[in-house]
Amino acid sequence: MPKGDGRLLAQNKKARHDYAIEETFEAGIVLQGTEIKSVRNARVNLKDAYARIDRGEIFLHNMHISPYEQGNRYNHDPLRTRKLLLHKKQISKLIGETKEAGYSIIPLKMYIKDGYAKVLIGVAKGKKKYDKRQDLKNKEAKRDVERAFKERQR
């Protein structure tokens, strides 16, 4: 596998629908023995995952990494809490942004970059139901315009 390929392993598609993403950060992740093998096989689920700051460190909760098939007794707990690696300045910025009500830290993507597993996390604010409806209307209108433009080109 070539270095720096940035191969996408998992994506939280629901995050952009349920949350308005304000800012994103790229974080490293601390993994145990067989976890990286499962990650490289793209056996990761970010659906219900979230990050929380605890004593100046940031941890990822509810991220599911399936047990490695050949891992036998050395396998890991699929839902264990994993530490994210960020610079102190980035963590202090995240602390300041999440102090405000309604903001949370959500993992958006997981990928391999330069041989290391990385997680793209976003500072997100939950959308209301009417915001979601408006986004769907805008998306539909944009799709209709594209379709009409494409037919006009013929």
Residue-range domains of the chain with CATH: 7-127 (2.40.280.10)
CB neighbours of residue 107 within 10 Å? 26
For residues 43 and 66, give the distance between their C-alpha atoms in angstroms, rounded to a whole number.
6
For residues 142 and 147, give the distance between their C-alpha atoms in angstroms, rounded to a whole number.
9
Give the pLDDT of residue 5: 53
Per-residue pLDDT of the chain (154 residues; tens, 9 = 90+): 334 456 888 888 888 878 888 888 999 999 888 888 888 888 888 888 889 888 888 999 998 888 877 767 767 778 889 899 999 998 888 888 888 777 888 999 999 888 888 999 988 887 777 777 887 888 888 888 888 888 888 7
CA distances from 125 to 100, 111, 131 (A): 10, 23, 12
Whole-structure pTM value:
0.75
